[in-house]
Amino acid sequence: MYSKEHVAPLVGGAAQQSDSSLSLAQKISGIFDEDSVLRVKENFEELKSLLSCYKCAILEVETKFNVLNERFSLDHERNPIETIKTRMKSPESIAEKLRRRNLPFNVNSLEQIHDIAGVRVICSFVDDIYMLADCLLKQDDIRLIEQKDYIAHPKENGYRSLHLIIEIPIFLENEKRLMKVEVQLRTIAMEFWANLEHKLRYKKNLPENIAEMTASELFECAEMSAQLDLKMQNVKNCIENS
Ligand code: 0O2
């Protein structure tokens, strides 16, 4: 779940270490066998350190967007960003993804999951999405790993957003580490649709007839919200050109 709050710890601090390794083990125990759960407990410190690095990477990316938002407002007297939300993928969700890919729950496998750290940027207008993505990707410490433009090419269900997997350095006491972060950029209308669609349908097992009906209704809603974005963009262009 993406939130506006600061990134919550996925695993606890040193004082709760044994509790946390137990709770992480519990969370994945329905998904992995006993041996795997035991290995997770044994390698808990290493896992905890890696997950903390992802949290640091989120903070770095969030700051970059806050800086861009602040500087843009100087020249244009408006903010292109409405909200920034962040999330660490839940242990259950990570475990599910690893299981689907037939990978064990360990540090090496975790490094192959590119959306453990997530930053979602909610923009005012569609143009702002591409402008912000360009500004981010021009920065010389950012490397683009993958881009999925679900705005130019919406998903079959109508889902729209720009997804970037980026690599960003984080600077620790004695080392620099390159971390992957998934950045999702979307408008308020795209966020509205995606949130409600997620609540209503995404990843839920519905009876076939209901699923078909809701899918078609939701697709229509996605098209309507895309129209709304287009109209808003046109109004803005009209004002700026006048
Ligand atoms: P959460 O809760 O964010 O962890 P994969 O990531 O491997 O499952 P893929 O194709 O690499 O799949 O990912 P993709 O298409 O880039 O999108 C992954 C994320 O985008 C999802 O995260 C959602 O946050 C969002 N998303 C993608 N498609 C939809 C959609 O149809 N509806 C909604 N509401 N959101 C979508 P996760 O992993 O599902 O969950």
The per-residue pLDDT for range 39-97, each reduced to its tens digit, is 766 677 888 889 999 999 999 999 999 999 999 999 888 899 999 999 999 888 888 89
In the residue annotation, 111 being an active-site residue is answered as no
Cα separation, 84 vs 69, whole angstroms: 10
Whether the predicted pLDDT of 129 surpasses 90: yes
Q: Is the separation of the CB atoms in 151 and 163 below 8 Å?
A: no
Going from the C-alpha of 186 to that of each of 95, 103, 127, 132, 200, the distances in angstroms are 27, 31, 10, 11, 19
Span between the terminal Cα atoms of the chain, in Å: 41
Whether the predicted pLDDT of 19 surpasses 70: no
Cα separation, 138 vs 134, whole angstroms: 6
The whole model's pTM is what? 0.88
Q: Measure 205 CA to ligand 1 centroid, in angstroms.
A: 16
Task: Compute the average pLDDT of residues 103-116.
Answer: 88
Q: Which residues contact 118 (CB under 8 A, 6 or more apart)?
A: 2, 58, 86, 87, 88, 89, 181, 182, 183, 184
Q: Of 60, 62, 182, 191, which is the active-site residue?
A: 182
- In the structure, which protein residues have their CB atom closer than 6 angstroms to any atom of ligand 1? 89, 93, 115, 118, 148, 155, 157, 159, 163, 194, 197-198, 202
Whether the predicted pLDDT of 17 surpasses 50: no
Q: Measure 60 CA to ligand 1 centroid, in angstroms.
A: 22
Q: Phi first, then psi: give them for residue 217, nearest 5 degrees.
A: -65, -45
